[in-house]
Structure 1
Amino acid sequence: MSDIELKHPPLSDDAPPAEPSLDEDDRLKPEFVRAVLECVEDDDAEGARALVAPLHPADIADLFELAPADSRAALAAALADLLDGDVLAEMNDWVRDGLIDALEPHQVAEIAGELDTDDAVAIIEDMEEDDQRAVLRALAPDDRAAIEEALSYGEETAGRLMQRDLIAVPEHWSVGDVLDYLRSNEDLTTDFWEIFVVDPSHKPVGTVALSWILRTPRGIAIADVMAREQTLIPVDMDQEEVALRFQKYALISAAVTDQSGRLVGMITVDDVVHIIQEEAGEDILKLSGAGDGDINEPLRDSYSARVRWLVANLGTALVGSSIIAFFGAAIEHMVALAILMPIVASIGGNAGTQTMAVAVRALAMNQLTQSNTIRTIKREIMIAALNGLTIAVLIGIGAALVFQNHHLGFVIAAAMLINVIVAGLAGVLVPVLLERMDQDPAVASSVFVTMITDSMGFFAFLGLAVASGIVPSA
């Protein structure tokens, strides 16, 4: 690690960025990025800081992501006094990890100490074990204890996501007691929307919105104005389920409890917005087999993530090829079969992908459960039948006119109808079965659905061609 000096002057969050820096979509202009990088190349750190200083932390993070990988270390050195925790919290994970490697442990600890626990954990959790221990040793005791506790929980759980800084008061206090406590204690967090009410064992028994506190007479007991019904988040709950609860119950914040039911932290909606975006993008990328799909991901990681699914697809494609080989004599007898055969498989594949995407999303959003699985399957079969009938009529008439063979038109129409219905059935059944087997349906569904639609398309079309007698069986 190199020693980059961090001074951390206060950023002016309210000051608007310099006019030339952003385009109409609030993205950094290419010429602005080039101007900053030219200053860095010319060893004009002061000029680079003058350009970047008016930017919001999120825009500074974008600047690092837009800069070439081999220029980021020099850019970090030039902008060291602007590179604080707020910027790193907004930065792409891969870019941030590369910059963290360029900092000394005490510098990382200084940045982590400025952040909420969840953001600090995000910076520290992916570091090498030796560097991680060095950073933890450099932290203040309270910060170190909070981060070590967070790291003890599983990845992508509420324990990693939660913040430890919250306001909790006993239920026997009055509103006046709470107001005095908030005004006299300078160590309390300054960012909160509700106050948690706890019993003597520190278990949450209710919540009070900050607006209620401000509008209620001082003598009223806090137990009389608090909302006793609240959504509690177990510390080991998966972050995707946390996001679903926030969405379902329109939460602003929620208490996190440990195995004994004690209040240990809270999760706020700004953390959940990030998780919703992350989980949605993750499922889409898993469906395509593209791994993390991050343009800042190292080349080797991207290659290994994608190639294994291509190899799996190669194996499933051999199933379809074997069916074609079995009907090789029929194809040789009528070239039209070879021309039309890919159409049946392609339409079936697209129909399966549509249904699969709907099913995977419904599973991820808890919309598709055991109580409505049968109804959903029937619905998708009906949609597939209607779609298949429409496409079958069109392709059947087209094939009959082009090849002057109404028998061929009937065969491809029937094959198309069969394959689209099978595709609809496979598109919903495969994700559901994988989910019932505790497997991620977004990861493997596309491989199996593609194999089923391709194989069934070839088999139905060629098999019907032979069965109808328009080509010989051998």
Structure 2
Amino acid sequence: MDEREDSRPPEDVALDERDRDAPPAEATGELDEDDRLKPEFVRDVIDLAESGEAEAARERVGRLHPADIADLFELARSDERPMLAGVLGDMLSAEVLAEMNDYVREELIDLLAPEQVAELASELDTDDAVAIIEDMEADEQQAVLRAMEPEDRAAIEDALSFPEETAGRLMQREFVAVPEHVTVGDVIDRLREDGDLTTDFWEIFVVDPLVRPVGTCQLSWILRTPRDIAISDVMRREQTLIPVDMDQEEVALRFQKYALISAAVVDKAGRLVGMITVDDIVHIIQEEAGEDILRLSGAGDGDINEPIRETYGARVRWLVANLGTALVASSIVGFFGGAIEQMVALAALMPIVAGVGGNAGTQTLAVTVRALAMNQLTDSNSWRAVFREMKIALLNGSTIAAIAGTATALWFGNPALGGVIAAAMIVNIFVAGVSGVAIPLLLDRLDQDPAVASSIFVTMTTDSMGFLAFLGLAVASGLTSL
């Protein structure tokens, strides 16, 4: 056997052997059928730690994957986490911190000295190390950076120089690049002999003398190609390059659109400066999708580990804004107060018109915000989307109007009242459909996040128009008067 066939550091081999010997967590009963830690397991570990049986607690936790150990800390109470960290010791590894919820990780990092944080960060890829360090206070961040090796510190400082949620923050600085004049054999020899290369990669980037990507070559192609073939004859010249300042949501969309496993990141001069892999993109897709849903509801980060004060601040400002917009609808009702006094049935039916219109607007809004986030809705098809929602709104409005109008006429024995509510339903659902697509499109054109404020304006529009259409038609039809 060629001695170069396994050039991994001895500690990596030992780690692999330990992992092979350890039974999977689901086989030993720690996880349920949904791959979540069982409550009784979590409670057992915490009880062992609290009772001073540290070795027993460590033995139970030692069979878990780093992601499951991170879950264990997240499931523990805030006041139990410091004690648990002290008992588990080095099991609170860099890999565990990288998998951990941001708020929980911040709690635990506050317990560590800067030198300890620096040591943990040095064990991770740059993108994971940045995720640990970027949210620290400025003075603590500098203390950690000073404790790091110069090479690691330079890489992290470079990453922190880019805006948050951009490819520069997300990318790994560790990648494999080769010049285009080498052969497949040269590449294989380098991969075997160079102990400083990153160990996790799926493709090799081929670069010109100015370190600009000219192609990419998957490892499987290299393994199946004779050694004397030039790498330039194996590589694929067409590749998706990610600008270093691209927003992470756009990066995720490119990975999804082109089915990428990894992609090269280039600076403004077109030089290769890093790579992004699909495992990072999975987290981004989940994070961005969750953000849009939470923004639609004005719920802030929506994290159950977020401090109460921050959650309160994020939610209350949108409730105050909602209170202001609700006054618009309330003023319309007040204007028709005399008409409502003459015909009490109007008061009973008003919420139905407004409520159905609000639901119709929410449906359209959710579809529109998602389409904008997925780049499915652009300047080239926005008007088509508006007209489509108009047609759907008219169909929905006609159906609901027929049902509501008939039921109202039979219940109150008043066909005219049934006709009024039917007409109001059509008007309000049509307005809801148009506003549900037009408001987020307008906010997007104004470079505002359509997921943040759209719901408040759509709700105000549907409530106001629902009351105005219903009460206004009732007065216009002679059912009642002002």
* TM superposition score normalised by structure 2: 0.95
Distance in 2, matches of 1:62 and 1:229, equals 40
| Offset, 1:13 | 4.1
- 1:317 maps onto 2:332 in alignment: no
Pick the aligned partner of 2:307 from 298, 308, 311.
Answer: 298
C-alpha distance in 2, partners of 1:109/1:443? 37
C-alpha RMSD of matched pairs (Å)? 1.2
The aligned residue for residue 48 of structure 1 is: 57
d(CA) in 1 for partners of 2:182 and 2:56? Answer: 55
Kindly provide the amino acid, as one letter, of the partner of residue 281 in structure 1.
Answer: G
User: Are residues 1:237 and 2:250 paired?
Assistant: no
Structure 2 residue 389 is matched with structure 1 residue 394? no
2:299 match: secondary structure: coil
Deviation, structure 1 residue 20: 2.7
State the one-letter code of the partner of 2:126: T
Following the alignment from structure 1 to structure 2, what is the Cα–Cα distance between the partners of residues 209 and 74? 46
Pair 1:170-2:179 in alignment? yes
> C-alpha displacement at 1:142, in angstroms?
1.2
Deviation at 1:19, TM superposition (A): 2.0
Partner AA of 1:238 in structure 2: D
Q: One-letter code of the match for 2:283?
A: H
Shift of residue 252 of structure 1? 0.5
What is the CA–CA distance in structure 1 between the aligned matches of 2:379 and 2:454, rounded to whole Å? 19
Residue 276 of structure 2: aligned partner = 267
What corresponds to 2:88 in structure 1? 79
- State the Cα distance separating 1:10 from its structure 2 match: 4.9
Tell me by how many angstroms 1:26 deviates: 1.4
Which residue of structure 1 aligns with residue 449 of structure 2?
Answer: 440
- The aligned residue for residue 5 of structure 2 is none
Deviations 1:234-255 (A, max 9, x none): 0000000000000000000000
| Residue 97 (structure 2) aligns with | 88
Counterpart of 1:102, as a letter, is: L
What letter matches 2:468 in structure 1? F
Give the drift of 1:29: 1.0
SS across alignment from 1:297: coil
- 1:463 and 2:476 equivalent? no
Runs of 4+ in 1 over 2 A off after TM superposition: 8-15
Equivalent position to 1:348, from 357, 371, 378: 357
Q: Report the Cα distance in structure 2 between the residues aligned to 1:24 and 1:143, rounded to whole angstroms.
A: 40
Give the alignment partner of residue 122 of structure 2, picking from 96, 113, 123. Answer: 113
Which stretch of structure 1 is more off in the superposition, 354-363 or 175-184? 175-184
Kindly indicate whether the alpha-carbon contact (under 8 Å) linking 1:156 and 1:239 is maintained by their aligned counterparts in 2: yes
1:408 to 391, 395, 417: 417
Aligned pair partner of 1:374 in 369, 383, 392: 383
Stretches of structure 2 that go unaligned for 5 or more consecutive residues are 1-11
Whole-Å separation in 2 of the counterparts to 1:252 and 1:421:
44
- Equivalent residue in structure 2 for 1:449, among 444, 448, 458: 458
Q: Does 1:70 align with 2:79?
A: yes
Q: Which residue of 1 aligns with 2:9?
A: none
Q: CA deviation at 1:461?
A: 0.1
Equivalent pairs, count = 466
Q: 1:4 maps to what in 2?
A: none
Q: Is residue 181 of structure 1 aligned with residue 186 of structure 2? A: no
Contact 1:427 1:449 survives alignment (8 Å): yes
The residue type equivalent to 1:197 in the other structure is V
Correspondence 1:358 to 2:367? yes
Alignment-derived partner of residue 418 in structure 1: 427
2:231 is aligned, of 222, 234, 250, to: 222
SS at match of 1:400: helix
SS at match of 1:20: coil
CA distance in structure 1 between the partners assigned to 2:229 and 2:15 by the alignment: 40
How far off is 1:307 after superposition? 0.4
The secondary structure found in structure 2 opposite 1:208 is strand
Q: Which residue of 2 aligns with 1:21?
A: 30
Q: Tell me the secondary structure at the aligned position of residue 79 of structure 2.
A: helix
Q: Any unmatched runs of 5+ in structure 1?
A: 1-7
- For 2:31 and 2:157, how far apart are their aligned partners in 1? 39
Give the whole-Å Cα distance in 2 for the aligned partners of 1:20 and 1:232.
44
Letter in 1 for 2:92: L
Name the structure 2 match of 1:5.
Answer: none
Using the TM superposition, give the Cα deviation of residue 176 of structure 1 relative to its aligned residue in structure 2, in angstroms: 1.4
Matched-pair contact (CA < 8 Å) for 1:13–1:56: no
- Once the two structures are superposed, residues 127-164 of structure 1 have per-residue CA deviations (whole angstroms, 9 ceiling, x without a partner) of 11111111111111111111010000000000000001
Of 199, 204, 214, the residue aligned with 1:195 is 204
Superposed displacement of residue 219, structure 1: 1.3
- Seen in structure 2, the aligned counterparts of structure 1 residues 13 and 362 have a Cα distance that, compared at 3 Å, is farther
Amino acid at match of 2:329: G
Q: Write out per-residue CA displacement over residues 46-103 of structure 1, whole angstroms, 9 at most, x where no aligned residue.
A: 1210111101111100000000001100000001120001111111000001000000
Partner of 2:436: 427
- Name the SS of the counterpart of 2:214 in structure 1: strand
C-alpha distance in structure 2 between counterparts of 1:42 and 1:81, whole Å = 20
> How many percent identity over aligned positions?
73
In the superposition, the TM-score normalised over structure 1's length comes to 0.97
